[in-house]
Amino acid sequence: MWRSLSLVIFLLLLAIRPTAAEELFQERSLYRNILVYEDQGLRCMKFGIHDGGRQTCISLRDPDSLVFNYTKMLLAALYLNPSPKQILVIGLGGGTMPTTLKKILPDVQIDCVEIDPSVVKVATRFFGFTTGAGISVNVEDGRVFVKRAQRNTKKYDLIILDAFDHVYIPEHMLTREYLTEVKTLLSKNGVLAANTFSSSRLYYSESATYADVYGAFYNLKMNNRVVLAKRDGIPSSDEIQRNAEKVEEKLRLFGTGKDWLLPLFSTDVQWPANTRVLTDQYSPANLLNGRL
């Protein structure tokens, strides 16, 4: 009897034991190690074979659902401008943001910038990302693209900064000079949405740098934090509420909405007044980057 009971328990434990992740693709590109794998109903891409963080995940059962909180928080940019026509996304990953924005705003034009051609290949092959029909990809450094767009007097209604290497944001894309260059690309009603870590050693300096360039901004924090700013100052909470109503029905299709997003909005100054701003001459990201 005890042997039978032990066997039943063993079989039950075997049945509920987490299955090992299935590796689908691995490549050492010019810039990082790229791994694509499936695990517990998710398909994910990460940079760094052993300990790199996940860059993108999609649900195999419901590809439209947004797996990461930061992707939902980035959509809160539509509360500052609910009808952008021209969008720039710097940092492609698996293409989640441009793909989602195109479904929400079918007539929008989206320029994507990704330095690593291997990432573009992986996004297309494994994560359903497609170009054409209003979505283009530029394979180059994000800051180089911004400088060229400046010369061409290009303007965007929404700019999303989501460029990470295997550890953190490249230091030349953290500085006052870079954020000022990005600001010049914003249209009159243009919105900046930047994805960063909520516990980075650079948190205070990043915050001070955004404030130096954009003034007050909305801060949304969970696992990551998202900075939302505008060229000429952030809208009032009343305007945020009205815009949230305009896009609520569409955002609900992707598992988010005003009940979840609006409580995250904050304008609290969470850094000391004497915090040093990051510049092209002072950007010690090699010493300070990464999570605490």
| 162 catalytic per annotation | yes
pLDDT of residue 222: 92
Given the residues 162, 212, 232, 280, select the one marked as catalytic.
162
Pairwise CA distance, residues 268 & 221, whole Å? 12
pLDDT of residue 18: 40
**Hey, CA dihedral for 269, 270, 275, 279, is it positive or negative?**
negative
| Tens-place pLDDT, residues 179-209 | 999 999 999 999 999 999 888 888 999 999 9
Pairwise CA distance, residues 71 & 144, whole Å? 25
Q: Look at residue 13 and tell me whether its pLDDT is greater than 70.
A: no
Maximum C-alpha span of the chain: 81
Nearest Cα neighbor of 38 from 64, 18, 11 is 18
Question: Taking a C-beta distance cutoff of 8 angstroms, is the pair 134, 110 a contact?
Answer: yes
Place of tokens 């600001």: 183
| Tens-place pLDDT, residues 62-119 | 988 999 999 999 999 999 999 999 999 999 999 999 999 999 999 999 999 999 999 9
Tokens representing 160 are 């999303």
Q: Look at residue 5 and tell me whether its pLDDT is greater than 50.
A: no
Tokens representing 265 are 């909005």
Mind listing the domains of the chain with CATH numbers? 69-284 (3.40.50.150)
> Span 117-126, mean pLDDT?
97
Pairwise CA distance, residues 177 & 58, whole Å? 34
